[in-house]
Amino acid sequence: DAGVIQSPRHEVTEMGQEVTLRCKPISGHNSLFWYRQTMMRGLELLIYFNNNVPIDDSGMPEDRFSAKMPNASFSTLKIQPSEPRDSAVYFCASSPDYGGNTIYFGEGSWLTVV
């Protein structure tokens, strides 16, 4: 099993640019999560999909953030325009359970906005 695959692993971009983070969940998992981790705020849940449908996006910080899941094997998290305070590690995770009793995380996408 390849696990949750995220890309890019590292990205440095300039303020104002669009950033797109990608995620391939584990095959057969029907729940997908996007988390953001910073030293100040810890690990925050941004959005949660089940069967490709967004269930809860209350953690999405603002309109600059959007997430999509066009099919069961792919999801994107987009930031447009990016700001320095968006610098963080963004984790994608998937779960075979509705509600996510056991969540499997990817390696993360390390984003730096300068």
- Interacting residues toward another protein by CB under 8 A: 4, 33, 35, 42-43, 45, 48, 50, 55-56, 58-59, 91, 93, 97-108
For the bound state, the minimum distance from the C-beta of residue 29 to another protein, rounded and expressed in Å, comes to 13
For residues 35 and 79, which CB has a smaller minimum distance to another protein in the complex? 35
Peptide bond into 70 cis (omega under 30): no
CB of 61 to another protein, least distance (A): 15
Nearer of residues 88 and 108 to another protein, judged by Cβ = 108
For 31, 53, 114, the CA distances from 47, given in Å and listed in that order, are 11, 11, 25
Q: In Å, how far are 43, 59, 85, 89 from 39, measured between CA atoms? A: 9, 17, 12, 10
- Could you tell me the two tokens for 75? 């999801």
Residue with smaller CB distance to another protein, 82 or 94: 94
Are 34 and 86 spatial neighbours (Cβ–Cβ below 8 Å)? no
Q: Which tokens belong to 77? A: 């998290």
For residue 81, the minimal CB distance to another protein (Å) is 27
Smallest separation, CB 106 to another protein (Å): 6
